[in-house]
A and B are shown apart, each in its own frame.
Chain A
Amino acid sequence: MIAGGALFALLGKDPVVAIRTIFWDPIFGEFAFYLRGQLLVKAGPLILIAVGLSLGFRAGIWNIGAEGQYIMGAVFGAAVGLAMFPTDSRWIFPVMIVAGAFGGWVWAMIPAILKTRFNTNEILVSLMLVYVAQTILSKAATGFLRNPEGMGFPGSRNFSGFPAARNAELIAGSGLHWGGVAAFIAVIGAYVLLQRHILGFQIKLAGQAPRAARFAGVAPTKLVVLCMGLSGALAGLAGMFEVTGPAGQISIDFASGYGFTAIIVAFLGRLNPVGILLAGLVMALTYVGGEMASTNLGLPSAAIQAFQGMLLFFLLAVDLLSNYRIRFLKGRAA
């Protein structure tokens, strides 16, 4: 935070004011009633994606293509919803949720299966698929999902005019939509999985001691498919909730980098579901506060992105210092 202040000071802004605008005003400032809601809107997808990613990261499976899975979830979910456009049934939204999760899952299965069948590096493949997903997104916005009544403008029908498929705020003004609810469920689910289920134990074991895990009968392929599938499905869900809720439509610039920020969130939360919940809120705070700062103080929005990256650097340095100390004590005891 000090280094962040230094960065803001370098940009010619008062560091104290900048930090206060980012971290304090959204919660307690004069526009807090609106911004607090925004906080949940931003935190929902971040937490949802990060929880999924953390499972993989724990097992040493590096799915960094969450952005692509997020996009594909949105495209699939929206496509299903739009296919049923004028009809009204309460089953539409659940079906869209399933479709969104399925889209993310399919996109994550590509690197997972390539990894298990051909031993391909999942980091590179999942990342390449982000770029592929982005071109599919722009194709969707300008081609097969374009609003037929949109007079040729890119972008799909807006979901705000389609109540059956709309992901509306559950409590007015709170910013809580189904994505937020899903994020809470995912946090609890992941916590139970890691703490109380044999699968969670296997995930942790595979990450910390792959050889021991193999001797203990953990099937690595099963674990890869499972972790990638889960994180892909969650990222797809996040995309689907985003497109039907805050974003409202499929557009070319729909991809907002949540999938990459979620990586920071996962590490910031120390790959722990509860930690991710808090980290997601903090990160959402930097988003919301950053927007405030860019409108009020003229602080460039890219500064927030750099600041988030810096946060991760410090965390990595500090986090691993504590790991290092633990190892040192163990060595002495032996």
Chain B
Amino acid sequence: MDLSSINPAVLVASLMVASVPIMLAAIGELVVEKAGVLNLGVEGMMIIGAVCGFITAVATGSPFLGFIGGALGAAGLSLIFALLTQVFQANQVATGLALTLFGLGLSSLLGQGYVGIKPPATGMVPFGPLADIPVVGRVLFQHDPMVYLSILIIAAVWAVLKYSRMGLILRAVGESHDAAHALGYKVTRIRIMAILFGGAMAGLGGAYLSLVRVPQWTDGITAGAGWIALAIVVFASWRPWRVLIGAYLFGGISVLQLNLQVANVPIPPEYLSMSPYLITIIVLVIMSSGKGRASLNAPAALGQNFHAAR
């Protein structure tokens, strides 16, 4: 066992990188759920985002376009979900599962010719001298733009939900679609917009996985990250900043787990690699058992379909 090989500054820095995909997917899903829609297809959208982003980046040679491609691809997939649940009134749980299954299949189909290729590298944001500060510089100022963008997105979602008129309408739709409808808001249209946003965010997260985190394309690259993102939304009790905490927590666990494997800790690697999933379960149990506090904060119309009766 050699714990001294783990450098805390590098650990924290890689934690920030590791948590970006789940953070992006979770913040997207948070907006979707705030609008009263439960989209269980995050995993499928993420992996489609991963493969679309990868293909675009390889084809154009630009990681920036790759991220856009990933977001667009996943948003396109979420459009199917929006169509089925909002127009055809399909069951949201079943449709979400279908989206995941379809996404996994389609992604391995699309990604076939791309196994083993290296994507163009995503550069770091040049902070100049700031990056050379001993510990802080490594932790805070040596990342690619997506790390900062993801935090910015969280801040933006928080501000929009809390302070803007748009956020108020979105929350109204999620709490009581009948009341929102009676006030004259277009419930279906707002929900479709929210679903598309969620899809785009999941796609960004997926693209980050295949372009920066791994970085290459393999089948099933997301490995449950989408589901962990769903769990984080519950963990965060639908509050944007807690998504950040949750994502860092889970990112930290997965990075630490990898580091412990490298450091030859006397725990079999199989048990270490199942730890993120086990900890997700434990966190879920703690969050939902606390006198239903977490469930009280859930949007009231979550998972219910809206059908304008009159």
Question: Which of B134-142, B224-232, B259-267 makes up part of the contact surface?
Answer: B224-232
Cα separation A138 to B288 with both chains bound (whole Å): 31
Known: A120-B289, A313-B98. A306 touches B91 (CB 8 A): no
Question: Which of A123-131, A152-160, A242-250 makes up part of the contact surface?
Answer: A123-131
Known: A123-B40, A124-B227. A317 touches B88 (CB 8 A): yes
20 pairs, CB–CB < 8 Å, chain A vs chain B: A114-B281, A124-B227, A128-B224, A128-B231, A128-B280, A131-B223, A135-B274, A136-B274, A139-B270, A139-B271, A143-B270, A263-B97, A300-B109, A302-B106, A306-B102, A312-B98, A313-B80, A316-B98, A320-B91, A324-B89
User: What sequence of 0s and 1s flags, for each residue 106-130 of chain B, a beta carbon within 8 Å of any chain A beta carbon?
Assistant: 1011001000000000000000000
CB distance from B299 to the nearest CB of A (A): 15
Cα separation A132 to B281 with both chains bound (whole Å): 11
Total interface residues on A, using CB and 8 Å? Answer: 46
- Whether the Cβ atoms of B289 and A119 lie closer than 8 Å is yes
Cα separation A306 to B51 with both chains bound (whole Å): 14
Does A260 make an interface contact (CB < 8 A)?
yes
A-B contact count (CB 8 A): 133
User: What sequence of 0s and 1s flags, for each residue 299-329 of chain A, a beta carbon within 8 Å of any chain B beta carbon?
Assistant: 0101111111110110011011101100000
Does B104 make an interface contact (CB < 8 A)?
yes
Cα separation A157 to B90 with both chains bound (whole Å): 46
Cα separation A147 to B32 with both chains bound (whole Å): 49
- Whether the Cβ atoms of A123 and B93 lie closer than 8 Å is yes
Chain A contacts for B88, CB-based, 8 A: 316-317, 320-321
Does A221 make an interface contact (CB < 8 A)?
no
Does A64 make an interface contact (CB < 8 A)?
yes
Known: A118-B289, A121-B284. A129 touches B277 (CB 8 A): yes
Does B184 make an interface contact (CB < 8 A)?
no
Chain A contacts for B288, CB-based, 8 A: 118-121
Chain B contacts for A287, CB-based, 8 A: none
- Whether the Cβ atoms of B224 and A316 lie closer than 8 Å is no
Cα separation A216 to B219 with both chains bound (whole Å): 48
User: What sequence of 0s and 1s flags, for each residue 271-303 of chain B, a beta carbon within 8 Å of any chain A beta carbon?
Assistant: 101100110110011001100100100000000
Point out residues on A near B: beta carbons under 8 Å. 57, 62, 64, 114, 117-121, 123-125, 127-129, 131-132, 135-136, 138-139, 143, 260-261, 263-264, 267, 300, 302-310, 312-313, 316-317, 319-321, 323-324
- Whether the Cβ atoms of A132 and B277 lie closer than 8 Å is yes
Cα separation A143 to B292 with both chains bound (whole Å): 41
Point out residues on B near A: beta carbons under 8 Å. 40, 80, 84, 88-91, 93-95, 97-99, 101-106, 108-109, 112, 219, 223-224, 227, 230-231, 234, 268, 270-271, 273-274, 277-278, 280-281, 284-285, 288-289, 292, 295, 307
Cα separation A3 to B218 with both chains bound (whole Å): 27
- Whether the Cβ atoms of B268 and A132 lie closer than 8 Å is no
CB distance from B178 to the nearest CB of A (A): 16
CB distance from B142 to the nearest CB of A (A): 31
Cα separation A263 to B277 with both chains bound (whole Å): 22
CB distance from B5 to the nearest CB of A (A): 24
Known: A124-B227, A316-B98. A62 touches B93 (CB 8 A): yes
Chain A contacts for B234, CB-based, 8 A: 121, 124
| Across the A-B interface, the 6 shortest Cβ-Cβ residue pairs | A309-B102, A305-B105, A306-B105, A118-B289, A302-B109, A302-B108
- Whether the Cβ atoms of A128 and B277 lie closer than 8 Å is yes
Q: Which residue of A lies closest to B219 (CB)?
A: A302
Chain B contacts for A304, CB-based, 8 A: 105
- Whether the Cβ atoms of A120 and B285 lie closer than 8 Å is yes
